[in-house]
């Protein structure tokens, strides 16, 4: 397939090279169009958010109120912290102007005059790369006042995170921009009603916005014909773990997991079997290796297989992997990253970690398995944001799909 | 507390937001860049600058793991031990670093040269196992490469000498 998000053109990150290859044409076309026509085109394209929730982007944009005198904001989510996810880093490095073009079209369509691009603090190098791209776009008047002689003006600022996974949650991200701890907000109100500084706000993932110029350039019909009809378009899949060639691969949605692992990532070292895999970052439900045949990288197929597409960060584990160690480490992560607002998540993630530590040391009691599941079930659905669910799902799915891994770690009690 | 040029930077950044409070994270980054960490005194200074109570600033500083309340070693080595790195042997990288630097994870060496911290996923999973030193990522590590890297650091005597480290980008970088 031709590559649209990460084309193999040397120096594509430079504004001149980007322009010489058709860059910023979609934006130039957009500012001659009616904003509603653009939103309709995005709706028709069936583009779904690439940040994890797969929410229809056009629909999200249409939630922004039109008859509101308050300023409107775009918050761009480049916090990318889901373990196993490293796609947006590639976009910042190799195609920053596509992101900027997507942001500009979003701002024009929704009447937004300020966009904040929230980038995780660890990406210091990539923040500088993206700032350089922004500076170049400012100097050519793609950003700023009366852009390209039009009535449209907008500013784009980077807001640097400081090491908190929770800030990838959209309402925590807004609090972090406002200068607060990254505490998620209770919804409703939703960001389109009350977002940044209580003003209408839209939050989109970096990769989602990178898809926008493609749709404007080639049309919704063309876009929706790529990959799976209900979740179409090119998608960046990050493959890591036990594969010969880990990396970010641009494929149409609907690509088979087996094709991703065996063709793109060139299989498993030593031709070992796949014991398990996580399809979309560490919060998505784990799948057994023998059950991935025929499963595709798209929302519907992965849902049917009992998982989700998440951030398309695929982690492969070979037959020798200690899955108890894996789930203990995942749980430690969510315990560390829980913001602490909701008791089920703050306490429950810690309890799960403690119980799992017993399994890891082969010191678990028989009733620990039931206790672990009980704690996970009491976190899920009982918290302000989805971090609680994200902590519960890996544990629940690991117990359901790999019960034998837990059972063999239960301490044998010697008969008296 | 902030020097004049950094004060000017903060003034400029305040203009990006409808409320000065929003400039807190950028201001903390600038403060940490200047001082190496964020002291109590600095928090009070920023409180006056942005009209925020000191308790709010302390709350923010302590919430975000990348803000440090104490000085760190000249080389802050962050070791990712999250799942993709774990699957590729990050525990060996961590123990190599601990052994070579003579400190445990979370500690700073007596000569002030190294601090080792365990961190969560840094978004470099295709280059697992990896470490970060300052803003630089070193990927596809094994024990030998880690030792070579540490030796390079040991040859650096200058403060904040990260950029002078003779790291072979093609060897340690790569991945994606």
Question: Which residues from chain A sit within 8 angstroms of residue B119, using beta carbons?
Answer: 122, 163
Decide if B84 is inside a domain. yes
Kindly state whether residues B145 and B125 are assigned to the same domain: yes
Decide if B68 is inside a domain. no
Nearest CA in chain B to A94: B176
Cβ contact A178–B22 (<8 Å):
yes
Cβ contact B123–A80 (<8 Å):
yes
Cβ contact B125–A161 (<8 Å):
no
∠ CA A285-A246-B142 to the nearest 5 degrees? 110
- Using a CB–CB cutoff of 8 Å, tell me whether A317 touches chain B: yes
Strand-by-strand arrangement of the B136-138 sheet? B114-119, B75-80, B131-133, B136-138
Structural domains in chain A, CATH included, are 15-225 (3.40.50.11540), 228-318 (3.10.20.600), 323-407 (1.20.1440.230)
Which residue in the block uniquely carries the two structure tokens 């659905």? A381
CATH number at residue B51: 1.10.10
Confidence band, pLDDT 50/70/90 cuts, at residue A416: confident
Cβ contact A321–B24 (<8 Å):
no
Q: Scan residues 341-400 of A and list those with Cβ closer than 8 Å to B.
A: none
What domain range includes position B105?
75-172
- Using a CB–CB cutoff of 8 Å, tell me whether A266 touches chain B: no
CATH number at residue B94: 3.40.30.10
Cβ contact A241–B83 (<8 Å):
yes
For residues A155-181, give the mean pLDDT: 98
A1-5, A168-172, A391-395: the lowest-pLDDT one = A1-5
In the listed set B63, B88, B106, which residue is the last one of a domain according to the structure? B63
Q: What is the pLDDT of residues A312-348, one digit of tens each?
A: 999 999 999 999 999 999 999 999 999 999 999 999 9
Among residues of chain A, what percentage have pLDDT more than 90? 98
pLDDT at A84 over 70: yes
Kindly state whether residues B79 and B164 are assigned to the same domain: yes
Kindly state whether residues B81 and B142 are assigned to the same domain: yes
- Report pLDDT for A413: 80
Nearest CA in chain B to A70: B18
Contacts for A357 with CB less than 8 Å, ≥ 6 apart: A328
In the listed set B23, B38, B63, which residue is the last one of a domain according to the structure? B63
- Report pLDDT for A245: 98
Q: Which of A5, A74, A86 to mutate to test the interface with B (most CBs of B within 10 A)?
A: A86
- Report pLDDT for A68: 84
Cβ contact A86–B63 (<8 Å):
no
- Report pLDDT for B160: 45
Decide if B69 is inside a domain. no
User: Mean pLDDT across chain A, nearest whole number?
Assistant: 97
Nearest by Cα to B17 from A71, A78, A142, A100: A71
For residues A391-412, give the mean pLDDT: 96
Which residue in the block uniquely carries the two structure tokens 């350089």? A132
Kindly state whether residues B11 and B97 are assigned to the same domain: no
B128 to chain A, minimum CA–CA distance in Å? 8
CA distance A180 to B41: 20
- With 0-12 CB in 10 A as exposed, 13-18 as middle and 19+ as buried, what is A145? exposed
Decide if B30 is inside a domain. yes
Cβ contact A122–B132 (<8 Å):
yes
Nearest CA in chain A to B58: A181
Kindly state whether residues B15 and B102 are assigned to the same domain: no
pLDDT at A61 over 90: yes
Residues counted in chain B: 176
Kindly state whether residues B13 and B41 are assigned to the same domain: yes
For residues A129-145, give the mean pLDDT: 98
Kindly state whether residues B80 and B163 are assigned to the same domain: yes
Kindly state whether residues B54 and B97 are assigned to the same domain: no
CA distance A314 to B14: 40
- Using a CB–CB cutoff of 8 Å, tell me whether A247 touches chain B: yes
Decide if B21 is inside a domain. yes
Decide if B43 is inside a domain. yes
Kindly state whether residues B81 and B30 are assigned to the same domain: no
Total domains, chain B: 2
B152 to chain A, minimum CA–CA distance in Å? 21
Kindly state whether residues B91 and B15 are assigned to the same domain: no
Write phi, then psi, for A115 (nearest 5 degrees): -120, 135
- SS3 for A349? helix
Which residue in the block uniquely carries the two structure tokens 């982690």? A315
Kindly state whether residues B88 and B124 are assigned to the same domain: yes
Write phi, then psi, for A254 (nearest 5 degrees): 85, 0
Cβ contact B65–A163 (<8 Å):
yes
pLDDT < 50: residue spans in chain B: 158-176
Among residues of chain A, what percentage have pLDDT more than 70? 100
Cβ contact B64–A164 (<8 Å):
yes
CA distance A100 to A87: 16
For residues A38-51, give the mean pLDDT: 98
Decide if B157 is inside a domain. yes
- Using a CB–CB cutoff of 8 Å, tell me whether A326 touches chain B: yes
Q: What is the pLDDT of residues A202-260, one digit of tens each?
A: 999 999 999 999 999 999 999 999 999 999 999 999 999 999 999 999 999 999 999 99
In the listed set B16, B42, B63, which residue is the last one of a domain according to the structure? B63
CB pairs under 8 A between A and B: 150
Nearest CA in chain B to A269: B88
Kindly state whether residues B51 and B127 are assigned to the same domain: no
pLDDT at A34 over 50: yes
- Report pLDDT for B153: 86
Q: Which of B14, B57, B63 to mutate to test the interface with A (most CBs of A within 10 A)?
A: B63
Decide if B139 is inside a domain. yes
Of B66, B127, B176, the CB nearest to A121: B66
Question: Which residues from chain A sit within 8 angstroms of residue B125, using beta carbons?
Answer: 83-86, 238, 240-241, 246, 313, 315
């Amino acid at each position: 397939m031709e590559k649209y998000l990460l084309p193999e053109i040397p120096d594509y990150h430079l504004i001149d090279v980007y322009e010489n290859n058709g860059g910023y044409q979609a934006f130039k076309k957009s500012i001659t169009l009616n904003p509603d026509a653009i939103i309709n085109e995005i709706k028709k394209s069936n583009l779904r958010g690439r940040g994890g929730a797969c929410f229809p982007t056009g629909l999200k944009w249409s939630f922004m109120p039109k008859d509101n005198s308050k300023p409107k904001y775009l918050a761009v989510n480049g916090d990318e912290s889901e373990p196993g996810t490293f796609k947006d880093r590639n976009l910042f490095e190799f195609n920053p102007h596509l992101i900027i073009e997507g942001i500009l079209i979003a701002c024009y369509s929704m009447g937004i005059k300020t966009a904040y691009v929230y980038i995780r603090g660890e990406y210091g190098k990539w923040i500088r790369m993206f700032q350089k791209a922004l500076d170049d776009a400012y100097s050519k008047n793609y950003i700023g006042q009366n852009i390209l002689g039009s009535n449209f003006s907008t500013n784009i600022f980077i807001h640097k995170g400081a090491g908190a996974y929770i800030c990838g949650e959209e309402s925590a991200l807004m609090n972090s921009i406002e200068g607060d701890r990254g505490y998620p907000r209770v919804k409703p109100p939703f960001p389109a009603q009350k977002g940044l500084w209580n003003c209408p706000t839209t939050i989109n993932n970096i990769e989602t916005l990178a898809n926008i110029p493609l749709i404007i350039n080639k049309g919704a019909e063309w876009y929706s014909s790529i990959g799976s009809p209900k979740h179409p378009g090119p998608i960046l899949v990050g493959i890591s773990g036990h594969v010969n060639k880990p990396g970010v691969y641009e494929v149409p949605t609907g690509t088979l997991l087996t094709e991703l692992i065996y063709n793109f990532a060139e299989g498993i070292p030593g031709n070992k079997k796949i014991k398990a895999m996580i399809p979309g970052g560490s919060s998505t439900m784990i799948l057994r290796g023998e059950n991935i045949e025929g499963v595709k990288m798209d929302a519907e197929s992965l849902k049917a297989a009992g998982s989700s597409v998440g951030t398309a960060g695929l982690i492969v584990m070979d037959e020798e992997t200690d899955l108890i160690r894996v789930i203990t480490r995942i749980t430690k992560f969510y315990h560390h990253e829980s913001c602490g607002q909701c008791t089920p998540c703050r306490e429950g993630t810690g309890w799960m970690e403690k119980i799992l530590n017993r399994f890891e040391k082969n010191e678990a009691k028989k009733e620990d398995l039931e206790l672990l599941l009980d704690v996970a079930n009491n976190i899920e659905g009982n918290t302000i944001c989805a971090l609680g669910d994200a902590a519960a799902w890996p544990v629940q799915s690991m117990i359901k799909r790999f019960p034998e891994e837990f059972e063999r770690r239960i301490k044998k009690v010697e008969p008296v | 507390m902030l020097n004049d040029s950094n004060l000017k930077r903060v003034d400029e950044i305040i203009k990006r937001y409808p409320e000065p409070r929003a400039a807190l994270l950028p201001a903390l980054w600038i403060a940490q860049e200047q001082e190496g960490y964020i002291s109590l005194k600095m928090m009070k200074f920023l409180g006056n600058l942005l009209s925020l109570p000191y308790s709010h600033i302390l709350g923010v500083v302590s919430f975000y793991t990348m803000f440090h309340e104490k000085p760190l070693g000249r080389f802050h080595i962050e070791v990712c031990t999250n799942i993709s790195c774990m699957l590729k042997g990050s525990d060996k990288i961590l123990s190599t670093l601990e052994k070579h630097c003579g400190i445990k994870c979370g500690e700073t060496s007596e000569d002030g040269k190294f601090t080792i911290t365990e961190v969560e996923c840094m978004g470099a999973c295709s280059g697992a196992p990896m470490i970060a030193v300052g803003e630089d990522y070193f990927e596809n590590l094994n024990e030998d490469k880690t030792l070579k890297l540490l030796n390079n650091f040991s040859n650096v005597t200058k403060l904040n000498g990260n950029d002078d480290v003779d790291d072979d980008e093609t060897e340690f970088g790569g991945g994606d």
